[in-house]
Structure 1
Amino acid sequence: MSLYRSVRAVTGASGTGAIDWDAVAEAACASTDPGALDLSETEREGYAADVREARAAVSAVGDVDFDVPRTVEIQNRHHWIDANVETFSRVMRPLEEHTEVALPGVSRVLNTGTMSFMLAFLGRNVLGQYDPLLLAEGEDTDHALYFVHPNIRSVADTLDVEYERFRRWIAFHEVTHAAEFGAAPWLSDHLEAQMEDGIETLAGGRLDRESFRELDATMTVVEGYAELLMDHAFDGEYADLRAKLDARRQGRGPIASFVRRALGLGVKRRQYERGKAFFERVADQRGVEAANAVWDGPENLPSDAELDDADAWLRRVDP
């Protein structure tokens, strides 16, 4: 880890774009300890078994036929940063293409520094990720599943919980996302369209609140459905894991709390809670299988208002 190399990469940002993504990757990795990735054969088999058994349990509970991605990687922090530099650059490209600034060199340095700081922070904290490769080009853009092993091991130790159980819990959560995208082949295109609409209006200097409200509602469904399947598929109680993880986040210092707000991680937590409440009501009224109606087509997604009134959604899609 070298803060000097990180600062040098940022201040040397070059190119014609608003962000020098090569410098972002170099700076984020230089300021982040990659963490150990010396897994035993037993640990590798453990990850594989967690994913395999999560798929079987989620498929049975949700009555959903799906496959996990071909790409399942156990990563260190640098691996995760490199993979997500590509993701962030794809998402930011429309803004870069439409943004003009008076001092492009200075702006590029500031933007590059901001993005490298964000990715370094996330790289030190992300445990697992289901990556639908949104906005990726080409036909062979299979989704991917990542586990950031040093973070999983470190957090399990910090929370004083059994490492194998914690690792399995993370695997089950990420596999539930694979179930969603498997049940709804249209979901990737739908999310991409919503993201592009919002980004294009931002690039034009306007904030389309309706586009972002619709995107927020879709992501609330994605997170809430995952929580529903987790509740029913995970082979054991996990309330203690969730409580300890939440307490750890709330106990962070003011800088970490500010960064989490800036990255929208508080919004993500709200999506979990709101989506979970919606699907719990659906399951209580009609059973877990009734929740699958959200994946029949984008017209079946609950509106922002229906997310707070699951009965209204049920009357609309399953009268």
Structure 2
Amino acid sequence: MASMVDWELAVTVGGRLAGPGPEVTREHAEATVAQLRADADRSTGLVREFTGLQAAERTAPVLVVDRQGWVEANAAGFATMLEPVIRRLEEKKGPATGLSLAVGSRVTGGEVGVLLGFLATKVLGQFDPFHEPSGRLLLVAPNVVHVERELRADPDDFRLWVCLHEETHRVQFTAVPWMRDHLFSEFEALASTVDPASVLQDGLKRASEALRSGGNLLEAFGSPEQREILDRVTGVMSLLEGHADVVMDGVGPQVIPSVAKIRAAFDRRRAGVGVLDRLLRRLLGLDAKMAQYRDGAKFVREVVDRVGMAGFNAVWERAENLPGKAEITDPDAWVRRVL
């Protein structure tokens, strides 16, 4: 892996760009960490009761981290996800050596570091399914404090609200153990379609065309076969994110007095706060990520309204029951096919 990406440089660049976050006293920081851990523990039972999903006990630990810790964790996650792609490239081209290895890996490491540094200031929490042996949940304390201040939200309410969403992801993967292997197999399938010659010859042209047409960099390297795989992955990610949003808003009114105010303010924030921020979000495909929350939540709500939560939970029984990208926007089609 080190032959193509300097991960140590990526972590250094990402941490420096992200910065430490808002200024807080040591006592405030310690209290925030303790509360996030307690809220994550409290959320487990609330998520189970609402969804009917039974997650395995004492798996997928909860870690409260700072921005540097998030960068380090995601550099490791990226390395795992990119391993099949890099292996494919090296099989086609052969491993780089000498000066080209040193320069190329540092350039790529710097680019990955810039991406991680930007994202490290935005993410409130994240479930990392690829961490051995069963994943881990990361809660980014400085970002939680920053956003709750920005929204002028009640800290107790906001922290529990965030934990409900992220804990739902932890329950999804621990209650549905095949999901992790399924996603990784999709990345393996995507890697098998990589053509190094095509990437080198046509990549910049396709990237330029995608951006001019209002797309993003993730869309620039999509052959028909890759599109098919990405559509399946989009369907899964929309399901996971939408389901988590439904859970946090469904449980919220019972335990979070200001949940309606928080949701309204948070949705306004998701649109981006400045021109540069909005541009970066579009280039990195984060606008598509926001659509996943919206479309996935609509799918979950409509299916649950029709067949109840027990009927909806058929989606977790096997990979064949997962909705495709088209079914996310056509819940009736999924109900007809699966139920």
| TM-score interval, normalised by the smaller of the two chains | 0.7 to 0.9
Give TM-score scaled by structure 2 length: 0.80
Whole-angstrom distance in 2 between the partners of 1:265 and 1:53: 30
Pick from 12, 27, 38: which aligns with 2:13? 27
- Identical amino acids, percent of aligned pairs: 31
Match of 1:199 in 2: 191
Aligned residue type for 1:284: D
Shift of 1:55: 1.0
Shift of 1:52: 2.1
Whole-angstrom distance in 1 between the partners of 2:45 and 2:102: 52
Is 1:54 equivalent to 2:40 in the alignment? no
Change (3 A) 1:171 1:37: farther
Change (3 A) 1:291 1:119: same
| Aligned partners of 1:21 and 1:112 also within 8 Å | yes
Pick from 227, 236, 246: which aligns with 1:228? 246
Matches within 5 A, 1:92-131: 92-99=82-89, 100=93, 104-131=101-128
Residues 247-305 of structure 1 deviation map (CA, whole Å, 9 limit, x = unaligned): 23434333222222232211111111111111111111122222211001011112333
Change (3 A) 1:131 1:39: farther
Aligned residue type for 1:75: V
Residues 120-146 of structure 1 deviation map (CA, whole Å, 9 limit, x = unaligned): 11111211111112xx5xxx5131111
Whole-angstrom distance in 2 between the partners of 1:203 and 1:194: 17
Match of 2:138 in 1: 146
Whole-angstrom distance in 2 between the partners of 1:68 and 1:229: 22
Whole-angstrom distance in 1 between the partners of 2:170 and 2:229: 25
Whole-angstrom distance in 2 between the partners of 1:62 and 1:223: 14
Q: Secondary structure at the match of 2:3?
A: coil
Match of 1:219 in 2: 237
| Aligned partners of 2:281 and 2:287 also within 8 Å | yes
Shift of 1:200: 2.6
| Aligned partners of 1:95 and 1:203 also within 8 Å | no
Shift of 1:106: 4.5
Is 1:91 equivalent to 2:81 in the alignment? yes
Q: Secondary structure at the match of 1:305?
A: helix
Match of 1:264 in 2: 285
Pick from 64, 78, 81: which aligns with 1:74? 64
Structure 1 residues without counterparts, runs of 5 or longer: 1-14
Change (3 A) 1:172 1:143: same
Aligned residue type for 2:71: I
Change (3 A) 1:50 1:263: same
Match of 1:312 in 2: 333
Change (3 A) 1:257 1:292: same
Aligned residue type for 2:36: Y
Q: Secondary structure at the match of 2:63?
A: strand
| Greater fraction helix | 2
Match of 2:212 in 1: none
Shift of 1:98: 3.5
Structure 2 residues without counterparts, runs of 5 or longer: 199-221
Match of 1:275 in 2: 296
Shift of 1:93: 2.3
Shift of 1:37: 8.2
Shift of 1:44: 4.2
Whole-angstrom distance in 2 between the partners of 1:53 and 1:97: 42
Indicate the larger mover: 144-153 or 234-243.
234-243
| Aligned partners of 1:37 and 1:75 also within 8 Å | no
Aligned length: 299
Is 1:185 equivalent to 2:171 in the alignment? no
* RMSD (Å) for aligned C-alpha atoms: 2.4
| Aligned partners of 2:60 and 2:174 also within 8 Å | no
